Amino acid sequence: MVGIADIAKKAGVSMSTVSNVLNNRKNVGQRTREKVLKIAEELSYEHKTQNAEQRRKTIIVNFSDFDTLFYLDILHGINDYASKRDYHLLVCTANDLIHYANNDSICGVIVIDSHTDDSTIISIANKHIPVITLDRELSHQMIKSILVSNYEGERQLMERLVEKGYEKFAFLKGHDTTDSKERYRAFRDVLKENDIPFSRNDLYEGDWHEQGGAQAARLIMLQERMPQVLVCANDMMAIGAIRKFQDNGIRIPDDIAVCGFDDIIISRYLGLTTVNVPDYERGFLAGQALINIIDGIGDYETSHIGARVKWRSSTDSKR
């Protein structure tokens, strides 16, 4: 059975453009309209009813780390905007993304899953399904990226830590993602600019979860001389490290300062110095950008969301 995706592929346009043409909307140029109608006729496509279009008003949100709290704020923001525009959400993991994206009911995808390969995302975009990525930047005419200003946020944090007089730093990375790379790059740049030495022995590999932070804390406690501050690539690992340190009688920030990135809700209660990312707004903007593209009024230019430091008791306010 011929579907909208088949017409879009042959015409070299998006599925939303085909839908707009078939439903006689005015936001499509005459040449494109004639091309789509001609291909639809050649393929013997039967445009059934408005109900068929309504069934297509579903977007996929792709993420896997259900234990990572900031995803819930993003999902909340996406859902609020999508609901306002009468769209439905389908949440799926990396393993199921291709399966669901092949369904003719899907009209767009939002990706925030580091486990999803670039090739998978590009293969979906190649089917003329618009994609919004929140965790990486990919060069493709059907992919728009909305990224956190990771470098600038981490740089603000590091510059102030240096001003406070910290001289011995450790860094806890997450998985090898754009977020982790940019945060670590800012960390190293500030140290280099201030002639502060950094040893690879003070670089720890984490997993974005509390257990990764706890493991890093265990390794740090084995050192003869601990760093003055542990800079973590996200809050969940910072929280894991703080809890492990405290379980072993190590005082925060007197014995070691700890800071994170994201500003999830629990960080505020634990007094964690971190970099605030407005995740609800990030999700809301992602939903808005995708649906605007579907409606033919959006663009694919990369956007950046600002991040700013929240100073709390896990770093020494007296320095």
CATH code of the domain in which 11 resides:
1.10.260.40
On whether residue 155 sits in a domain, the answer given is yes
How many whole angstroms from its chain centre is CA 168? 30
**Exposed, middle or buried: residue 306 (CB in 10 Å: 0-12, 13-18, 19+)?**
exposed
Contacts 24+ apart (CB under 8 A), 26-35: 27/295, 27/296, 27/297, 28/296, 35/11
pLDDT band at residue 276 using 50, 70 and 90 as cut-offs: very high
Q: In whole angstroms, give the CA distance from residue 239 to residue 260.
A: 8
- What's the pLDDT at 50? 44
Backbone phi, psi, residue 239, to 5°: -65, -40
- What's the pLDDT at 47? 65
Partner residues linked to 26 by β-bridges: none
- In this prediction, residues 218-244 reach a mean pLDDT of 95
On whether residue 50 sits in a domain, the answer given is yes
CATH code (residue 220): 3.40.50.2300
Residue 290 near residue 137 (C-beta atoms within 8 A): no
On whether residue 159 sits in a domain, the answer given is yes
Q: In whole angstroms, give the CA distance from residue 235 to residue 272.
A: 8
Q: Among all chains, which residue has been given the structure tokens 């929240």?
A: 310
Same domain for 51 and 154, yes or no, is: no
Range of the domain at 13: 1-55
Domain count across the chain: 2
On whether residue 4 sits in a domain, the answer given is yes
Same domain for 154 and 272, yes or no, is: yes
pLDDT at 41 over 90: no
**Over the stretch 113-137, which tens digit does the pLDDT of each residue have?**
888 999 999 999 998 899 999 989 9
On whether residue 319 sits in a domain, the answer given is no
Residue 168 near residue 230 (C-beta atoms within 8 A): no
Same domain for 43 and 158, yes or no, is: no
On whether residue 36 sits in a domain, the answer given is yes
pLDDT band at residue 13 using 50, 70 and 90 as cut-offs: confident
On whether residue 256 sits in a domain, the answer given is yes
